[in-house]
Amino acid sequence: MKSLISQVARYALENPSSIREIMNVVADFRKHPEKYPRRLIYFGGGWPQDSPPEPLRRALIEVMEDKEDFMLAARYPPTRGDPDYLEALVVYEREIFGREVEESELLSGLGSTDLAAGLFFSILDPGDEIIITNPCYLNYTRQIEIIGRLGVNIKRWQTIKNGKFIPDLDELQSLITDKTKLILLVTPGNPDGQVFDERVLDGVVDIASERGILVAIDVAYRAFHYEGEVPSYLSRPRRENEVWIVTLSKELRVPGWRMGYLVADPSLLRAIETIQQAMTLCPAHPQQLAFVRMLSKDGVIEELQDFLLEKTPKKYQKVASLVCDELSKTPNIQYLRPSGGFYVFFDIRGIMASSKKFVSQLLDEWQVALAPGIDFGMEGWVRLSFAPVVEDQELLKEGMERIRRFILSKT
Ligand SMILES: Cc1ncc(COP(=O)(O)O)c(C=O)c1O
């Protein structure tokens, strides 16, 4: 069998996603808790513990109970998404996030992961270059390597220096060549929780625009801004060379429903759509109909505004602060205070050099799961996700205590 494995599959085998791999441990713990000396505390993935908004649950029940909708939900929707769903997304963007978009600028997919893959397939040829930040959400590197069949040059724009978020536009300029096709940003960031300010983000788009380059901006955590005003780029009209990568996984707490969409130039979306026709056929249908039903209800916009713009950032900011307070009591580490998202990224070089070793020893000895920084491009750092325990502060504190005891045992 080994001789049949392609070069790119060999790469994937050698570089599995550490977060997906830890999910296997979580699943095993659920099935066989007796094998573990104590309860597993999962700070590994971006997996919110709290419930999706109640109107969404009610709408899904209605879809299932309505025979006509139930039948419709069982059919293939168009590759771009059900037309009613696209119409509902226009309303959602406008009423919740203040952004005016046209239906022709929208393409829905099986989560944003599917759409990012479609984007990479649509623009990258062997020999092309792409610029990502360092650190960057780990799945992007893997996707680009796999889709580019290891032939795309991934350049990294170092945005964290000496433990601070300092994205320098001159440095970005120096990475661009005639082969650069795309600059990819995530804000608020994963794994670092840092937010691009308006001047820098617009500076990136200006530079890219002059050079005929696309900028993809992943706003998976746009409902999780903690400090001050939410940046205005989330609500201003899309600039020509921008592709906004949006997921409902985090903001609506439905990562298992696989709902995401792109906001981009219609001709680019058409290219991605035709790729998706071959790759996935179409996104799943029942949840699209539930979303449409939810938005048709009186008063739901106000409910969603309250859920997404008030309750969500408040709740997550509180837990982020708690994690930072706990980390402040832990010796020999430095952490980056997050301005958004649901991760705290911290420097463990005062304890050990290898983030993989740190993560695996912590899991073996104390049954606490973190994600290693090396997979995000930064060795010597680890990422803590508090989303899986956001409802359970006792468990969070216990996990932090175990981390502290682990660190003390190593120093
Ligand atoms: C920055 C970022 N983008 C995308 C995703 C995946 O989104 P989706 O569930 O829509 O595929 C994640 C998941 O953790 C993420 O952190």
C-beta 159 within 6 A of ligand 1: no
Domains defined for the chain, CATH in brackets: 2-51+306-410 (3.90.1150.10), 54-301 (3.40.640.10)
The 8-class DSSP code of residue 340 comes to: B
Q: What is the pLDDT of residues 168-226, one digit of tens each?
A: 999 999 999 999 999 999 999 999 999 999 999 999 999 999 999 999 999 999 999 99
Question: Confidence class of residue 229 from pLDDT cuts 50, 70 and 90?
Answer: confident
How many Å lie between the centroid of ligand 1 and the Cα of residue 142? Answer: 13
C-beta 112 within 6 A of ligand 1: yes
Question: Confidence class of residue 26 from pLDDT cuts 50, 70 and 90?
Answer: confident
Task: Enter the tokens of residue 160.
Answer: 């964290």
C-beta 118 within 6 A of ligand 1: no
DSSP three-state, residue 227: coil
Name the burial class of residue 59, with classes exposed (0-12), middle (13-18) and buried (19+) by CB atoms within 10 angstroms of its CB.
buried
Question: Confidence class of residue 164 from pLDDT cuts 50, 70 and 90?
Answer: very high
Task: Enter the tokens of residue 211.
Answer: 């050079």
Q: What angle do CA 92, 137, 251 make, to 5 degrees?
A: 25
Strand pairing class (368-369; 41-42): parallel
How many Å lie between the centroid of ligand 1 and the Cα of residue 224? Answer: 14
The contacts of residue 311 (CB under 8 Å, 6+ apart) are none
Res. 330: pLDDT tops 80: yes
Q: Give Cα separations from 83 to 90, 123, 224, 292, 294 (angstroms).
A: 11, 26, 29, 10, 15
Res. 2: pLDDT tops 80: no
Query: What is the rounded CA–CA span in Å between residue 383 and residue 344?
Result: 6
Give the pLDDT score at 18.
78
- pLDDT over 90, % of the chain: 91
Q: If you take atom 13 of ligand 1, which residue's CA is the nearest one? A: 46
Give the pLDDT score at 263.
98
What pTM, to 2 d.p., does this model score?
0.96
**In testing the pocket of ligand 1, which one of 23, 133, 140, 249 has its CB within 8 Å of the most ligand atoms?**
249
Q: What is the pLDDT of residues 348-376, one digit of tens each?
A: 999 999 999 999 999 999 999 999 999 99
Res. 103: pLDDT tops 90: yes
Q: What is the pLDDT of residues 58-81, one digit of tens each?
A: 999 999 999 999 999 999 999 999
What atom in ligand 1 is closest to the CA of residue 45?
14
| Amino acid at site 330 | T
